[in-house]
Amino acid sequence: MDALVTTEWLANELTATDLRVVDASYFSDASRDAAAEYEAGHIPGAVFMDLGEIADLSNPLPSMLPSPEKFASRMQSLGLGDGSRIVLYDDSPLHTSARAWWMLRTFGAHDVAILDGGIAKWKAEGRALATGKESLRHRHFTVWADDKGVRTLDQMKANLDSAAEQVVDARSAARFTGEEPDPRPATHAGHIPGSKNLHYATLFNADGTWKSPDDLKAAFDAAGIDLSKPVVATCGSGITAGVLVFAAHLLGNDAALYDGSWSEWGADRTTPKAMGAA
């Protein structure tokens, strides 16, 4: 299974016994209810992955990775198990299926793909939808974590001196430069010194599908990121950085993700902050 699959491919695979489809929609504000939208209409057989709850809720930072035990428990309850082929989609402007893809791979699931164009493309093509909730059967999901793709605050601080990894920031240019204040209280504006800016939204076509590999590479090149060298992605709270990680993966680069992102770095009084363009 490719990392990025088409609606046509998924329609042909829906009845496969090892395939699991997951709605990973998540919204950063309360104006939309992801669970309610899922129940109002989802791809047949799809289950809802609540990214707001599948996190370390004891951590004051938003959206931090949960423990491996919690993650495995939630996946088991959704019927996602060892040996499952998992296809993720979303209907979020944040393209949150990329965060879910990164989480699943971090916790040991490797046959994971994203549906190109999400449910919006599925609906636009007039394909079947289901409503309500799906009946779920628990499956075994092994407790496992591989942190090679996860970066911590200490590692990011060390990288300031070593410059071993290129840092690319998925936030908008105005947030990156500090022209626009951070929406979180007591959080400095600006960016990690030495980081480059590549707004996640620029990696998609107007219909929500991913841009071609050539166009994705051109976007990284224009941002000053050399994909032949190590990369770590950051953003506001670790969500849209997943878009950059997935795009890099499509281009053959196993980029890491700074989970705390600017919500951690920008609020920490001991970290240096840069303003203006990179």
Active-site residues: which are they?
A: 235
CA distance 68 to 130: 31
Total Cβ atoms within 10 A of residue 169: 28
Residue with tokens 């919690």: 70
CA distance 45 to 119: 13
Cβ neighbours for 238, distance < 8 A, ≥ 6 positions apart: 62, 63, 64, 99, 257, 258, 259, 260, 261, 263
Please state the φ and ψ torsions of residue 90, each to the nearest 5 degrees: -150, 175
CB-count burial class (<10 Å; 0-12, 13-18, 19+) for 29: exposed
CA 226 to chain centre: 21
Task: Please tell me what DSSP assigns to residue 266.
Answer: T
